[in-house]
């Protein structure tokens, strides 16, 4: 279990992390989500003692990281897959980790197999690795000591879709066996697919947290995207019921559930050609919650 209590980190007058508290539970994958520069990395760096906190503290399983003996055996850390010596081979990087933790060299081969890096690839120097290969190596490094807690910063960054699916399966399985997983991302759909719990952070502050359902319930009224053979008539019928709507592409975006839109169309005798859920998805929520903290302001598809 990772427990963050009242954590604040300031740099001069700038507050990178502003009094945040949350818990990452064992047996669950906790997603740490926020736009770039929101404070995710700073929080994770404080967790493993690389950055001293200005106030507050983080404990892992009840211990401050610094007090955990041979911490690699308990906490797997991947903060930046590129933060390895470019001149070392992948295998050598894992060997140094294994030696430091006091693990047999056979563990290196096991981990290479686990992340599907071939023996030939493992002998290449890191500077010749693609970002996806570096991420796989970084995940292998984090898992070396068979830890019960995983802290991963943007682990899916650079992975191809098959790689992301692989990682999802890996982390789910890891949590199902009782492990604690905290992973960060600035991409909502990545986290949405993997995480059981989500913590949304924007400009150093936690703006929402909970499981997916709780967060969706917070999102307010759902909207619907609809296209029909007579959009003008449909719009008139909906407005007649006092339902707000706007034109969206070839159709309408209606501030009502799909069932209400369908019923109105039926009553008005209008043929629908497309009717689907139009938001209040997590993406809407994410953008809304972080909109005042986004650099660009609210932009459609900004999380893509």
Partner 1 sequence: MSMTLDVSGTAQIPFTRLVSVELRKTADTRAGRWLLGAIVGITALFMIIFFLVADSEERIFGNFIGIASTPQGFLLPVLGILLVTSEWSQRTAMVTFALAPSRTKVIAAKTVAALILGVAAFAAAVLIAALATVLGGASEGFEGLTATVFVLFLALQLLTVLQGLAYGLILLNTPAAIVTFFVLPIASSIVFALVPFLSDVAPWFDLGTAQQPLFTSFGGEENLTGEHYAQLGTTALIWIVLPFMAGWARVMRAEVK
Binding site for partner 1 (CB under 8 A): 1, 26-27, 45, 48-52, 60-63, 65-66, 68-74, 77, 79-80, 82-88, 92, 96-97, 99-102, 141, 148-149, 178
Query: Which residues, in sequence order, are bridge partners of residue 153?
Result: 184
Query: Which residues, in sequence order, are bridge partners of residue 62?
Result: none
Question: Cβ closer to partner 1: 87 or 301?
Answer: 87
Question: Cβ closer to partner 1: 144 or 258?
Answer: 144
Least distance (Å) between residue 54 CB and partner 1: 12
Question: Cβ closer to partner 1: 4 or 79?
Answer: 79
Whether the Cβ atoms of residue 255 and residue 245 lie closer than 8 Å to each other: yes
Least distance (Å) between residue 108 CB and partner 1: 13
Q: How many CB atoms lie within 10 A of CB 184?
A: 26
Question: Cβ closer to partner 1: 44 or 245?
Answer: 44
In the chain, alpha helices (H): 40-47, 90-101, 106-114, 119-123, 131-143, 161-176, 188-194, 212-218, 231-240, 258-268, 282-290
Question: Cβ closer to partner 1: 91 or 203?
Answer: 91
Least distance (Å) between residue 186 CB and partner 1: 19
Whether the Cβ atoms of residue 31 and residue 215 lie closer than 8 Å to each other: no
Question: Cβ closer to partner 1: 50 or 221?
Answer: 50
Least distance (Å) between residue 263 CB and partner 1: 46
Whether the Cβ atoms of residue 95 and residue 105 lie closer than 8 Å to each other: yes
Whether the Cβ atoms of residue 211 and residue 197 lie closer than 8 Å to each other: yes
**Cα(245)–Cα(235) distance, integer angstroms:** 8
3-state secondary structure of 304: coil
Closest-CA residue to 59 (of 106, 6, 10): 6
Question: Cβ closer to partner 1: 111 or 254?
Answer: 111
Least distance (Å) between residue 30 CB and partner 1: 14
Supply the DSSP symbol for 258.
H
Q: Please report the sign of the dihedral spanned by the C-alpha atoms of residue 99, residue 105, residue 108, residue 114.
A: negative
Least distance (Å) between residue 90 CB and partner 1: 12
Which single residue is written with the structure tokens 């689907």?
Answer: 276
Least distance (Å) between residue 26 CB and partner 1: 4
Question: Cβ closer to partner 1: 94 or 225?
Answer: 94
Least distance (Å) between residue 164 CB and partner 1: 24
Closest-CA residue to 157 (of 123, 131, 129, 192): 131
């Amino acid at each position: 279990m990772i427990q963050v209590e009242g954590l604040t980190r300031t740099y001069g007058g700038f507050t990178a992390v502003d009094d945040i508290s949350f818990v990452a539970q064992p047996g669950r994958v906790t997603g740490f989500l926020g736009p770039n520069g929101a404070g995710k990395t700073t929080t994770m760096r404080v967790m493993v003692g690389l950055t001293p906190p200005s106030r507050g503290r983080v404990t892992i399983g009840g211990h401050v990281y610094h007090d955990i003996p041979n911490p690699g055996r308990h906490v797997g850390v991947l903060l930046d897959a590129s933060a390895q010596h470019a001149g070392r081979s992948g295998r050598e990087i894992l060997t140094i980790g294994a030696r430091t933790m006091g693990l047999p060299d056979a563990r290196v081969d096991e981990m290479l197999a686990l992340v599907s890096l071939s023996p030939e690839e493992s002998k290449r120097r890191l500077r010749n690795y693609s970002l996806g290969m570096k991420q796989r190596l970084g995940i292998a490094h984090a898992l070396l000591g068979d830890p019960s807690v995983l802290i991963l910063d943007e682990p899916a960054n650079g992975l191809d879709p098959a790689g992301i699916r692989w990682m999802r399966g890996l982390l789910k399985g890891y949590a199902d066996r009782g492990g604690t997983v905290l992973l960060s991302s600035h991409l909502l759909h990545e986290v949405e697919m993997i995480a059981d719990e989500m913590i949304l952070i924007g400009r150093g502050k936690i703006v929402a947290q909970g499981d997916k359902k709780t967060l969706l319930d917070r999102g307010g009224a759902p909207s619907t995207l609809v296209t029909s053979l007579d959009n003008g008539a449909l719009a008139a019928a909906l407005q007649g019921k006092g339902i707000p709507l706007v034109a969206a592409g070839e159709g309408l975006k209606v501030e009502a559930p799909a069932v209400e839109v369908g019923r109105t169309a039926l009553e008005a005798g209008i043929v629908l050609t497309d009717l689907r859920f139009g938001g209040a998805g997590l993406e809407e929520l994410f953008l809304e919650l972080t909109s005042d903290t986004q650099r660009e302001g609210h932009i459609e598809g900004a999380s893509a």
